[in-house]
Structure 1
Amino acid sequence: MQGEFSIVVDRSEHQYAPTPWEQESWRVSALAWVAEQLASHGLRAGGELRVRLRPWSVLVRVPVEGREAVWFKANPPASAFEGPLTAALARWAPEHVLRPLAVDAERAWVLLPDGGELFRDVLAREPVEPRTWEELLRQYASLQRTLAPHAREIERLGVPATRTPDLPGAFDQLLTRSTALLPEARERLDRLRPRLTDWCAELASFGVEDTLDHADLHDGQLFRPAPGRFTFFDWGDAVVSHPFCSLRIPAEKARARYGPQVLARLLDAYLEPWTGAGRTPADLHRAAHLAWRLSVLSRAASWGRTFPDASGSGPGAERSSASLLEILNDPPF
């Protein structure tokens, strides 16, 4: 397949980051696998391959004769679970996610159909009212609730777990490994530890089940295939944890676009599906307040998994430490 098509490679700012794409044997095998999987669906590639290389993935847009393009993705070991997870999500919640055309769990490869227009592209093209963000958060909360009974199965697929009662231990591990922290910052985090334990216990007391947290739910990780409908994808940073930890990233994106006044609307929209079971709106708002702050633990851990670096001087250590420090900041609501 490689010899039949022109190939355009995008490395962005990661010009010197190594990826398996540089290995000819890997590249030939990957493209042969894509051709084989397409053939099994009665499809044939045709056109220019567009390759996006990042330290955390190899992504190839493959044009297909007579229909939309498909996407090949190869994950590193830290997110090798993404293909099997995506396939499982398509069984459990097909209306919310992409259904893979093929998955090779051993090699961490997945072939995905086109999901439609990115929400980011919609935002760049036309005015979008805050109520659209409200709807996407309602749909995402519905997905999380659907997945809650499958949390153990999700963990068995290799998805990391930082369940609510385990968050203090996760904080301790991150603090120990965060070699990029300055002494003063480390002292501030050490002093925070007793309060953090109380926050985690209070968050657990509201009885909201741990489930899948996308952990990086921004406008570039959402398709908007039709008005009012969203498809969630790119699960490489996912973790099993408190669901409300997912709220921070999309809410921050919306706040940057519309101003701080939008937060109350988004919060109410996201929390609406979680009402019931004796929980009051005040309980849910308090839980969201706590989870907003604690959500940085998953982000800090994700940076460490994506850029493992024993020296402590690489981008993973720096970004993990920066994320961890955000736990010191009060939530904006």
Structure 2
Amino acid sequence: MSGSVSYDDHLLLVPSPARDAVLVQVDRSGERRWPTIRGDRGRELPELLADAGRLAGPHLVFLRSAGRAEVPIGDGDATARTAFLVHDALDVPLDDLPGPGGWAWCPLDDVATTLPPLPGALRGSFSRWVDELHGAPPPPQRPAWANPGGIAPFLAWLDAEVRATGATPEGEPEVLQQWGISLVVRQRTDRGVLFGKAVGAVFASEPAITRLLADDRPGTVPGVLAVDTERAWVLLDDARIRPIEGAQAAEGLRALARLQRAWIGRTDELRAVGCPDRGAATLADDLATSLADLDLAAELVPTRGLDAAERARLRALLPAFAALCRDAAADGLPLTLLHGDCHPGNTGVRDDGSVCLLDWSDAAVGHPFVDVDVWLSHATEDERPALRAAYLAEWPEVADGETALLRADVLCAAYQVVTSQRLLRALEEDERPGFAGGMSFWARRILDRYDVLVGEVSSRSS
């Protein structure tokens, strides 16, 4: 089946009010099946929730995504990916639900004999969900908003802080993102749009970091209207931006470089609000530790995992990587602010051409050039030379900026492997597949970027 296209299936997990049955669709022949949303790969959560509402009605209350099964389709690179969308109990008459066919409650004890079998990689997630319905405690890594009723304190705080600005909320907050890392909602008001964000424990310093950056360089990051540092909640003003694309992409990297330069010599201020130290001096040891979980990443998402030869080559590369880290630490560029995940999706541009950098979850103190290859991983080969030149133009004192940047590309990939591995271990089991694929991607990119660096150095010396 050559030419197959990747797609995602999302299965709705909705318990009955008594928490002893799961919602299922019933076709005209009486056959029962999992309520399923099928669509293109990579759709955003608001679109998925809108589809869920069209399928099963507006009373669904989303809690979290859980699990992932990914299998190849056809003879190319296409895959079919399946995950759960877990919801709170639904307490409305089934006759009130829309959608094709009918609806029923399938007793949990009858799922195995009544419904189509789940992919193997999802069975553990379903079993854990059933255990929680029967009274098992949720995993300690799960943030409050992903449990029934757990979002209420944040929404109450958000409403109060919105009103404290003098604005009046209009309508219910709209969920833009809800996963183990963060919860992001959009609140429309009589004075415009505001955004609330609750951050999970792994990135709990983000609100304080964002406030520091906003106070220091207004407009470069979204304006901060309120912060609860104890609970890692923040209320953000509307940055009034649109997606950055085309020729404007270079402006995004220039804005990043200018912000990094502004924080040279001020890293103690960043550390004081929770920015971790993630410089080249510690990256080699961090990478060596993280590589121990490459097997786990491959087990969670087999279609993306590194094979045995790739894993062996990575481990053999560790001494050379440590030497690269020493070279980077000695290249004269001072430690400064790192965004950690700077790409076009975390950047926007205003009508006046000014750039705003979003989402400071991964912020750290480190080598500035480590940020660049994340952006370049979203660009085409033809676009990358101009983007690299735009960034390096902001660092005129660097004598051989291209070599420094090629070296930092390898460090960037390692940095992302370490971040992915830490998330893999910090989040609950049902969320881990979402980061395993990223860990494998960046581990493979270490090899790719190292080969590019060696090839470039070799060509210059010949």
**TM-score category by the smaller chain?**
0.7 to 0.9
Pair 1:140 & 2:259 matched:
no
Pair 1:295 & 2:412 matched:
yes
- Look at both structures and tell me which one has the larger radius of gyration over its CA atoms: 2
Q: 2:354 & 2:396 partners in 1: Cα distance?
A: 22
Q: Residue type matched to 1:213 in 2?
A: L
Q: 1:223 & 1:14 partners in 2: Cα distance?
A: 31
| SS in structure 2 of the partner of residue 275 of structure 1 | coil
Would the aligned equivalents of 1:9 and 1:50 in 2 still touch at CA under 8 Å?
no
Q: Residue type matched to 1:326 in 2?
A: R
Q: 1:175 & 1:268 partners in 2: Cα distance?
A: 32
Question: What is the 5 A alignment of 1:314-329?
Answer: 314-315=432-433, 316-317=435-436, 319-329=438-448
1:15 to 85, 95, 99: 85
1:207 aligns to what?
A: 332
Q: TM-score w.r.t. structure 2 length?
A: 0.62
1:271 aligns to what?
A: 392
Q: Residue type matched to 1:296 in 2?
A: A
Q: Residue type matched to 1:152 in 2?
A: D
**Which string of whole-angstrom CA distances, capped at 9 and with x for unpartnered residues, describes residues 215-260 of structure 1?**
22122211212242110010112222211111112223232xxxx2
| SS in structure 2 of the partner of residue 270 of structure 1 | helix
Q: 1:253 & 1:294 partners in 2: Cα distance?
A: 17
Would the aligned equivalents of 1:151 and 1:240 in 2 still touch at CA under 8 Å?
yes
2:401 to 280, 284, 289: 284
| SS in structure 1 of the partner of residue 378 of structure 2 | helix
More strand per residue: 1 or 2?
2
| SS in structure 2 of the partner of residue 194 of structure 1 | helix
1:3 aligns to what?
A: none
Query: How far apart are 1:204 and its partner, in Å?
Result: 2.2
Would the aligned equivalents of 1:162 and 1:170 in 2 still touch at CA under 8 Å?
no
Q: 2:414 & 2:262 partners in 1: Cα distance?
A: 24
1:29 aligns to what?
A: 153
**Which string of whole-angstrom CA distances, capped at 9 and with x for unpartnered residues, describes residues 160-210 of structure 1?**
321122221122221234443654333212211221122112222321112
Q: Residue type matched to 1:305 in 2?
A: R
1:112 aligns to what?
A: 236
CA gap of 1:7–1:270, structure 2 versus 1, over 3 A, is farther
Q: 1:184 & 1:305 partners in 2: Cα distance?
A: 24
Would the aligned equivalents of 2:249 and 2:344 in 1 still touch at CA under 8 Å?
no
Would the aligned equivalents of 2:64 and 2:146 in 1 still touch at CA under 8 Å?
no
Bigger relative contact order, structure 1 or 2, given CA contacts below 8 A and separation 6+? 1
Would the aligned equivalents of 1:168 and 1:196 in 2 still touch at CA under 8 Å?
yes
Select between 155-164 and 179-188 the one with higher mean Cα deviation: 179-188
Q: 2:276 & 2:218 partners in 1: Cα distance?
A: 22
| SS in structure 2 of the partner of residue 70 of structure 1 | strand
**Which string of whole-angstrom CA distances, capped at 9 and with x for unpartnered residues, describes residues 96-143 of structure 1?**
1112111111111111011113315xx4xxxx3x3x222221111000
Q: 2:183 & 2:171 partners in 1: Cα distance?
A: 19
Query: How far apart are 1:326 and its partner, in Å?
Result: 1.9
Q: 2:429 & 2:60 partners in 1: Cα distance?
A: 36
Q: 1:57 & 1:311 partners in 2: Cα distance?
A: 13
1:216 aligns to what?
A: 341
Select between 17-26 and 211-220 the one with higher mean Cα deviation: 17-26
Select between 319-328 and 43-52 the one with higher mean Cα deviation: 319-328
1:168 aligns to what?
A: 284
For these two proteins, the number of residue pairs brought into alignment is 311
Q: In structure 1, list runs of 5 or more residues that go unmatched.
A: 1-5
More helix per residue: 1 or 2?
1
1:151 aligns to what?
A: 267
RMSD: 2.8
Query: How far apart are 1:155 and its partner, in Å?
Result: 2.5
2:317 aligns to what?
A: 192
CA gap of 1:163–1:178, structure 2 versus 1, over 3 A, is same
Q: 1:312 & 1:324 partners in 2: Cα distance?
A: 21
Q: 2:429 & 2:407 partners in 1: Cα distance?
A: 29
2:354 to 202, 211, 229: 229
Q: TM-score w.r.t. structure 1 length?
A: 0.84
